[in-house]
Amino acid sequence: MERFAGKKVLLTGAATGIGRATALRLADEGATVFAVDRNAEGLADLPTKTWVADVSDEQSVKDAVRAAADVMGGIDVLVNVAGIHKTTPLATLTLADFQRLLDVNLLGTFLFCREAMPYLREAKGVVINTASTSATHAHPFMTAYAASKGAVLAFSISLAAEVAADGVRVVAISPGGVVTPLMTSVSFPEGVDASFYGRIMPQVGFGEPEAIAGTIAFAASSDGAYLTGVELRVDGGSHV
């Protein structure tokens, strides 16, 4: 498929996991991809344009978006994938940890949307934001992460209505359990009863990053032309 021939894609979180798979998928479908991450080493062997930036730093985001637009000659698609995770019971959840989750997951998404929107308006483009099943379903001991993702979903739905008249679409993707460095690093502090998670395992097994990349490609392509202000839950049926 060549659904992204001639399309200019700015994508965050591209060094590993879902972001990396998405960068490769969109490039494979003909896109010019400007891949952003804070992890320079992870970006190094991507066959796309790359840029090192911290999505939680306002100036860093401004620089990345300007560079993307300059290098590619505009931006048709923005895909916000960069994110972090933390598992902590409420009693030991620090303000600093909560703040960091909001800074990266929510405010990083906001900053890229704000900075890229003039180019997306020009292109009548598409924004894909990465939420999570924890935006709408209980995930104990992940309250701060869940709150950050719930906010990404709420932000995306309202933004979709705000920019619809400009011809810009906004779609939130909510992955379930996907095998990536983020997911495999999840662990629970000693003494925590995490049996809840045993009950919400997807019967079809955990997802591969490529499955999420395929959904992002669909939603960002002309095949998703009538999708906006919507959440696509991609979780193998774990959160029905």
Ligand X SMILES: NC(=O)c1ccc[n+]([C@@H]2O[C@H](COP(=O)([O-])OP(=O)(O)OC[C@H]3O[C@@H](n4cnc5c(N)ncnc54)[C@H](O)[C@@H]3O)[C@@H](O)[C@H]2O)c1
152: helix, coil or strand?
A: helix
Q: Which stretch binds ligand X (CB under 6 A): 31-39, 63-71, 112-120, 221-229?
A: 31-39
Please identify, among the stretches 35-43, 62-70, 136-144, 164-172, the one whose residues bind ligand X according to the rule CB under 6 A: 35-43
Alpha-carbon span 61 to 65, nearest angstrom:
6
**Are the C-beta atoms of residues 73 and 7 closer than 8 Å to each other?**
no
* Member of 11, 33, 55, 153 binding ligand X (CB under 6 A): 55
Tokens of 39: 């992890």
**In terms of CB distance, is 18 or 232 closer to ligand X?**
18
Q: Is residue 10 within the footprint of ligand X (CB under 6 A)?
A: no
Q: How far apart are CA 195 and CA 22, in angstroms?
A: 32
Residue 79 beta carbon to ligand X: minimum distance, rounded to whole angstroms: 10
Contact status: 56 vs ligand X (CB under 6 A) = yes
Going residue by residue from 158 to 187, which x/- string records binding to ligand X, judged by CB under 6 A? Answer: -----------------x-xx-xxxx----
Q: How far apart are CA 23 and CA 16, in angstroms?
A: 10
Distance, CA of 159 to CA of 120 (rounded, Å): 13
CA-based nearest residue to 9, from 156, 144, 165, 119: 119
Pick between residue 144 and residue 226 the one whose CB is nearest to ligand X. Answer: 144
Q: Where are the beta strands (DSSP E) in the chain?
A: 8-12, 32-37, 49-52, 77-80, 126-130, 169-175, 230-234
Give the active site residues.
145
Nearest to ligand X of 158, 184 (CB atom): 184
Instruction: Assess 132 for contact with ligand X (CB under 6 A).
Output: yes
Minimal distance, residue 186 CB to ligand X, in Å: 8
For position 125 contacting ligand X by CB under 6 A, the verdict is: no
The token duo for 128 is 């894909």
Residue ranges that bind ligand X, judged by CB under 6 A? 13, 15-19, 37-39, 42, 54-56, 81-85, 104, 130, 132, 175, 177-178, 180-183
